[in-house]
Structure 1
Amino acid sequence: MKMSQEDLANKCGVTRQTINAIENDKYDPTLSLAFRLSIHLETTVDRLFIFEEDVD
């Protein structure tokens, strides 16, 4: 499925800049936004995001 950042942002109720920041790993979305993204991208949250734990 092809969708612009602007289209996805509008569907999820955020700005295009927010979508861009998520794509560039500069922003971690809230859980509710992660679910909205997965719904509109027709996938699951765990397929959309990969959790990497910071180990100090």
Structure 2
Amino acid sequence: MKTRIQEFRKANKISQAELADAVEVTRQTIISLEKGRYNASLELAHKIAHFFGKTIEEIFLFEE
């Protein structure tokens, strides 16, 4: 699964650490999400989408 986390984070001038603190995960988790090495739980996906004021589908790109 691809994500647009990095794109939204940079557009809002938010650091990985700031996003991690806001959604209550480690910076390493954000790095892994951005690189596609980790798939977010539904709860985490919801927190990230809510943080950016977007839908889960706008942040996380599901591929067949």
Q: Which has the larger radius of gyration?
A: 1
Higher relative contact order (CA 8 A, sep 6+): 2
- Counterpart of 2:32 in structure 1 is 21
- Counterpart of 1:40 in structure 2 is 51
| Range that drifts further, 13-22 or 36-45 | 36-45
TM-score scaled to structure 1, two decimals? Answer: 0.89
Residue 52 of structure 1 deviates from its aligned partner by 1.2
Please give the alpha-carbon distance, in whole angstroms, between the structure 1 residues aligned to 2:47 and 2:27: 15
- Counterpart of 2:15 in structure 1 is 4
Gaps of 5+ in 1: none
Q: Choose the corresponding residue for 1:30, options 28, 41, 51.
A: 41
Tell me how large the CA RMSD over aligned residues is. Answer: 0.7
Residue 30 of structure 1 deviates from its aligned partner by 0.2
**Larger relative strand fraction:** 2
**Count of residues in correspondence between the two structures:** 53
Runs of 4 or more, structure 1, over 6 Å off, are: none
